[in-house]
A and B are shown apart, each in its own frame.
Chain A
Amino acid sequence: MSALAAELQGHEPMAPEPWRILAVRREVADGEVFTWTLEPLSGRAATARPGQFNMLYLFGVGEVAISVSAIEDDGAVVHTIRAVGSVTRAMQGLRTGEVVGVRGPFGTAWPVADAKGRDLVLAAGGIGLAPLRPVVHAVLARRQDFGRVLLCYGARSPRDLIFRDELDEWQVRRELDLRVTVDRGTADWKGDVGVVTQLIDRGGFDGRNALAMVCGPEVMMRFSALSLHRRGVAPERTFVSMERSMRCALGFCGHCQIGPHFVCRDGPVFPYPVMEPAFRVNEL
């Protein structure tokens, strides 16, 4: 056995690596959604691809799967987290400079390269914008490679919109067709009201030549896929990102199965037809 193989055999895949929080940013008013920029203490880490996730670990509390919401050139990784459970709520109190654990990156990536020469439709619901943001960055970096780029983003209410500065910037740059809507407007909300699927229904892309990436609650992805299909986007060129309980991210713990698929290993990004049974059969 080679030295490397021996070292790998002895490596505990559930052991987190220490990473430092370089920056913390509140995404919504009460800080329930926040963004961390992280760098590895060791100085080296595998580069994540858009759509992949890391297991973020908090000493003494536990671990949670969070997709990357940006990938920086210097190896830093950005995660956007919603505080909804014991681990993420504990994470909410952390500050710049503190050390957390990271395992990853894991899972499949959005097929950004396959969208070259095509129109690209990105449909995001709620915090589902976070896993799609690295795609926007990748597209803007090589804008000429793509046809029309449409980003449809729906949230529950104006206060739930994340990445607001960046949304404004994208709106101003006009390199993509950004459409934002909320389910419930407020008195001071000047933007659109309605569900995200209606933004897709309005078209503005060549369905037959388009590739679509959808991320949000399952119902939203299901209806978005229908709207995309109506607009001529082939189901096999529609991609969704699934959410299940990922505890080990290695295909060992069995929690994230959808039919024959381990979301951690075979996903989270799947072509829509692969996930169609999960959308159709209740509680699969």
Chain B
Amino acid sequence: MRVIAPQAMEKLVHLLSDDGYEVVGPTVREGAIVYDRLGGMDDLPIGRGDDHGQGHYRLRDRGDKALFGYVVGPHSWKKYLFPPRETLVRVLRRDDGGFETAPGEAPPPRRAFIGVRPCELAAIAVQDRVFLGQAVRDRAYGARRDGVFLVAVNCAEPGGTCFCTSMGTGPRAHGGFDLALTEVIDGDGHFLVAEAGSEAGGRLLERLAPREATEAERTAAERVWREAPARMGRSMRGDAREVLARSLEHPRWEETAARCLSCANCTLVCPTCFCAQIEERPDLEGKVSERVRSWDSCFNGEHSYVIGGPHRTTVAARYRQWLTHKLSTWHAQFGSSGCVGCGRCITWCPVGIDITEEVAAIGADTGGSGP
């Protein structure tokens, strides 16, 4: 087991920058942990933690120097891989009435993600299957995704809305990263256990001059991995895929819709939601028109627009679409659940709708919930 000192994060950021990466990671802004450019380890949310509940999120001081002592914020890495708005292609009108096409944007920078949670690694894998695993590859996603350097950080203190153990995605990463860190704060000790997940990760780790863990450090790290799963605030019980598939006309949809504001917060914070609209943006001269892709949500009326109006007119139908897609039909589409158990949709729902509670309620009536 290799360990590095917390201060090695400074060097890690610089090494990656020197290697040509744009280094992004967690930082505090406007009362939340968000992902943005990191200049060094001082940009990390040192000593900050966060409390999560239904429709509740607050930063707090931890009283220590933890670098990764929070859970997750409203951002996810999809803001870099599948940005909220991007120009896919520019259409250039020619004088003869025809047109040609040109790239929508300059090639994206190569990025290094620092502080990727195991559930977020799983979310990236889910979106990889959506954008890169179908018959046609999404060029824009692929261009951003290829060559990303992933520094994962395992969860020591899952939050109040977390349920990654139920979804099999955490709290410890078992692959899909270049480098994985586990932060251990134990009495006076504060160190990071580092595991390489790729050759590039191994090479970077060597440049950080890691040392072998002492017996005490090994024991402390193992305790973190052992105890974290029990600290989840939520759990998804029962076979959600099956329960929802046979409950398309359950009265619970109407009941929850009465509370749901159809605000789309859940889909915006969800690290796997991929719905997008395509907008045509011509310039004033009529010479160039951009095809712009931006995040959409199944909670928007326009989302299901067909001739004659929106197909899903009710909030109940939209909420059902979201939940059944995320937890049930996603399996048939992409071979996994669309939920990674990060809990963001619970935390950021303004009325505190909790998907684990919804599945349990529907399952209880249909005999499908677990013990």
Contacts and interface: CB of A to CB of B under 8 A. Distances in A.
Chain B binds chain A: yes
Interface of A: 8-16, 18, 41, 57, 59-63, 84-85, 97-99, 101, 243-245, 247-248, 250-255, 257, 259-260, 262, 265, 277, 281-284
Given A12-B103, A14-B89, A281 B306 contact: no
B298 interface: yes
A265 B260 CA distance: 31
A250 B89 contact: no
A45 B186 CA distance: 65
B278 interface: yes
Given A101-B99, A281-B249, A252 B276 contact: yes
Nearest to A243: B306
A260 B138 contact: no
A255 B89 contact: no
Interface stretch (B40-48, B128-136, B190-198, B340-348): B128-136
B333 interface: yes
Interface in B290-315: 291, 293, 296, 298, 303-307, 311-314
Given A59-B91, A254-B274, A16 B139 contact: no
Interface residues of B, number: 55
Interface in B78-112: 88-89, 91, 93, 97-101, 103-104
Contacts of B248: 277, 281, 284
Contacts of B286: 60
A266 B46 CA distance: 48
Contacts of A101: 91, 99
Given A12-B101, A243-B306, A260 B332 contact: yes
B317 A282 contact: yes
A60 B282 contact: yes
**Residue with the highest number of chain B CB atoms closer than 10 Å, among A12, A18, A247:** A12
B12 interface: no
Interface string B132-155: 001111111010000000000000
A247 B329 contact: no
Q: Is the interface of B mostly helix, strand, loop or mixed?
A: mixed
B321 A14 contact: no
B101 A63 contact: no
Interface string B244-260: 00001100000000000
B20 to A, nearest CB: 20
Given A8-B137, A14-B291, A245-B304, A63 B278 contact: yes
A156 to B, nearest CB: 14
A283 B276 contact: no
A60 B314 CA distance: 32
Given A245-B306, A254-B276, A41 B130 contact: no
Given A252-B138, A253-B275, A283-B317, 8 more contacts: A60-B282, A99-B98, A244-B304, A250-B135, A254-B303, A255-B275, A255-B296, A283-B314
Given A59-B289, A60-B280, A254 B275 contact: yes
A165 B338 CA distance: 51
B307 A84 contact: yes
B277 interface: yes
Interface of B: 88-89, 91, 93, 97-101, 103-104, 130-131, 134-140, 142, 248-249, 274-278, 280, 282, 286, 289, 291, 293, 296, 298, 303-307, 311-314, 317, 320-321, 324-325, 328-329, 331-333
A236 B333 CA distance: 22
A252 B130 contact: yes
Contacts of A260: 328-329, 331-333
Q: What are the 10 closest A-B residue pairs judged by CB atoms, nearest first?
A: A254-B275, A60-B282, A283-B317, A260-B332, A260-B329, A15-B101, A62-B280, A60-B289, A15-B89, A99-B98
Nearest to B280: A62
Contacts of B289: 59-60
20 contacts: A12-B139, A13-B136, A16-B91, A59-B282, A60-B280, A60-B282, A244-B306, A245-B304, A247-B276, A247-B278, A250-B134, A251-B135, A252-B130, A252-B131, A252-B274, A253-B277, A255-B275, A260-B328, A260-B333, A283-B313
Contacts of B131: 252
A254 B278 CA distance: 11
B277 to A, nearest CB: 6
B307 A243 contact: yes
A284 B311 CA distance: 8
Contacts of A252: 130-131, 134, 138, 274, 276
A10 B311 contact: no
A253 B276 contact: yes
A150 to B, nearest CB: 27
Contacts of B291: 14-15
B81 to A, nearest CB: 13
